[in-house]
Amino acid sequence: MKILAIESSCDETATAVVEDGRTVLSNCIASQIDMHTIYGGVVPEIASRKHVEVISGLAEKALQDAKVEKQELDAIAVTYAPGLIGAVLVGVNFAKSAAMALNLPIIPVHHVRGHIAANYITHPNLEPPFVCLCVSGGTTLIVDVKSYTEMEIMGGTRDDAAGECFDKVARVLGIGYPGGKPMDELAQTGDDSRYELPRAHVQGAELDMSFSGLKTASLNLIHNAQQKGEPLCLPDLAASFNRAVSESLVPRVMVAAQQKGYGKIAVAGGVAANSRIRNDLLAACQAEGQQLFLPELKYCGDNAAMVGCQGYYEYLAGKRGNASLNAYANRDIGLG
Ligand code: KG4
């Protein structure tokens, strides 16, 4: 079964053709990062307009790269939630028009479910159930992946997502946007015990997290040093920050995995590319006898291959959209 997949939930327009859920025939991404860099963050209106400009051509390119004709497609999968509402709407409307013109079924896909499915592409033998840590610019969740389409949130951030926190701190340091990758690179040579940064605990909810305090503490530390004219060691700060994020995430996902007893942990989303988090998880999983599944770096960030992959399993479970399919800025992953 060949699925044309569309993703436009944030600042990447992406299209792909995926066969039978696990074989990526093409994977095209038009990033808008250059456009948003000057503002230090994604400007929603610009994101929507850029999606409109490129989405048609990028869908054609996905078919060309895959060497698949329109008539050979079996369905169209599209991210319909969550995301920047104007941006998601562009993908949903394009997918609805294409599905109508080609007389194909349309499959609505939850963006974070797509991130989880990126693991199926990298690991052909991975099957649910497993526990998944989903960490991106907009999401930080620990999810019980009971089956390909049945999921339940076990814990999550009460405020900022971990990726958002990386981006804000990096912006104030002036080291680039999006900030996760440059922070990760800077941290490689840093001393992670140089700066003391907080780790939050949510009383009575051991799997929940909070990153706003870490963000504020980091920004205060930077501003204080700047105001006093004191030098800041950027690699040490980045390493201390990476460690604080990792120590907020890793122990909680290990507790969640113990509670479920599946013996399998996966990681998903842009922040899953972080080398400190990957290494800490690897060490924890080795110590506790859990099998760890990490997506290939190219499938950590937003892409449409993951949407095509999850779309296949949603299709098998009977999920279909129609001409009245809407986009949603927020939607529980459990609802799909
Ligand atoms: O999954 P993604 O591409 O978009 C969302 O769905 O949000 O994630 C983007 C986030 C950004 O916050 C970016 O800074 C972060 O992923 N990121 C990283 C790394 N690479 C990307 N965060 C930490 N370390 C990295 N190496």
Closest to 79 measured CA to CA, from 296, 302, 266: 302
Ligand 1 pocket member 179 (CB < 6 A):
yes
Work out the pLDDT band at 40, boundaries 50, 70, 90: confident
Residue nearest to atom 16 of ligand 1 (CA): 270
- Mean of pLDDT over the chain: 97
Residue 268: what pLDDT? 98
Taking 90 as the threshold, does the pLDDT of residue 122 lie above it?
Answer: yes
Taking 90 as the threshold, does the pLDDT of residue 38 lie above it?
Answer: no
- Residue 79 CA to ligand 1 center (angstroms) comes to 18
> What percent of the chain lies above the pLDDT cut of 70?
100
Residue 48: what pLDDT? 96
Ligand 1 pocket member 270 (CB < 6 A):
yes
Ligand 1 pocket member 140 (CB < 6 A):
no
Cα–Cα distance for residue pair 279/282, rounded to 1 Å:
5
Per-residue pLDDT reduced to its tens digit, 228-265: 999 999 999 999 999 999 999 999 999 999 999 999 99
Pocket mutation for ligand 1, best pick of 36, 84, 136 (most atoms within 8 Å of C-beta): 136
Query: How remote is the C-alpha of 177 from its chain's centroid?
Result: 16
Residue 117 · residue 295 · CB < 8 Å: no
Taking 90 as the threshold, does the pLDDT of residue 64 lie above it?
Answer: yes
Taking 90 as the threshold, does the pLDDT of residue 41 lie above it?
Answer: no
Torsion of CA 208, 211, 217, 222, to 10 degrees: 160
Ligand 1 pocket member 83 (CB < 6 A):
no
Cα–Cα distance for residue pair 11/243, rounded to 1 Å:
27
Q: Given the structure tokens 């019980």, which residue do they identify?
A: 144
Q: What is the maximum span of the chain, computed from C-alpha positions, in angstroms? A: 66
DSSP assignment of 47-110 equals HHHHHHHHHHHHHHHHHHHHT--GGG--EEEEEEESS-HHHHHHHHHHHHHHHHHHT--EEEEE
What atom in ligand 1 is closest to the CA of residue 178? 14
Residue nearest to atom 22 of ligand 1 (CA): 180
* Cα angle 108, 110, 114; round to 5: 110
Taking 90 as the threshold, does the pLDDT of residue 158 lie above it?
Answer: yes
Q: Mean of the pLDDT values across residues 45-55?
A: 96
Ligand 1 pocket member 138 (CB < 6 A):
yes
Partner residues linked to 266 by β-bridges:
132, 293
Sign of the four-CA dihedral 283, 288, 289, 294: negative
Residue 37: what pLDDT? 87
Q: Mean of the pLDDT values across residues 46-57?
A: 97
What atom in ligand 1 is closest to the CA of residue 273? 26
Cα–Cα distance for residue pair 241/247, rounded to 1 Å:
10
Residue 168: what pLDDT? 96
Ligand 1 pocket member 137 (CB < 6 A):
yes
- Residue 118 CA to ligand 1 center (angstroms) comes to 14
Pocket mutation for ligand 1, best pick of 7, 166, 299 (most atoms within 8 Å of C-beta): 166
Work out the pLDDT band at 58, boundaries 50, 70, 90: very high
Work out the pLDDT band at 24, boundaries 50, 70, 90: very high
Residue nearest to atom 23 of ligand 1 (CA): 180
* Cα angle 62, 267, 127; round to 5: 75
Taking 90 as the threshold, does the pLDDT of residue 154 lie above it?
Answer: yes
Work out the pLDDT band at 153, boundaries 50, 70, 90: very high
Per-residue pLDDT reduced to its tens digit, 322-333: 999 999 999 999
Per-residue pLDDT reduced to its tens digit, 172-216: 999 988 999 999 999 999 999 999 999 999 999 999 999 999 999
Partner residues linked to 76 by β-bridges:
4, 106
Ligand 1 pocket member 181 (CB < 6 A):
yes
- Residue 68 CA to ligand 1 center (angstroms) comes to 31
Q: Which domains does the chain have, with CATH numbers?
A: 2-115+301-335 (3.30.420.40), 127-298 (3.30.420.40)
Residues composing the chain: 336
In this structure, the number of other CB atoms found within 10 A of the CB of residue 330 comes to 9
Cα–Cα distance for residue pair 293/278, rounded to 1 Å:
10
Ligand 1 pocket member 302 (CB < 6 A):
yes
Query: How remote is the C-alpha of 335 from its chain's centroid?
Result: 18
Inter-residue long-range contacts of 241-244, CB under 8 Å, 24+ positions, other chains counted:
241/166, 241/169, 241/183, 241/187, 241/195, 241/197, 241/214, 242/183, 242/184, 242/187, 242/192, 242/274, 242/276, 242/277, 243/192, 243/193, 243/197, 243/276, 244/197, 244/198, 244/199, 244/214
Taking 90 as the threshold, does the pLDDT of residue 121 lie above it?
Answer: yes
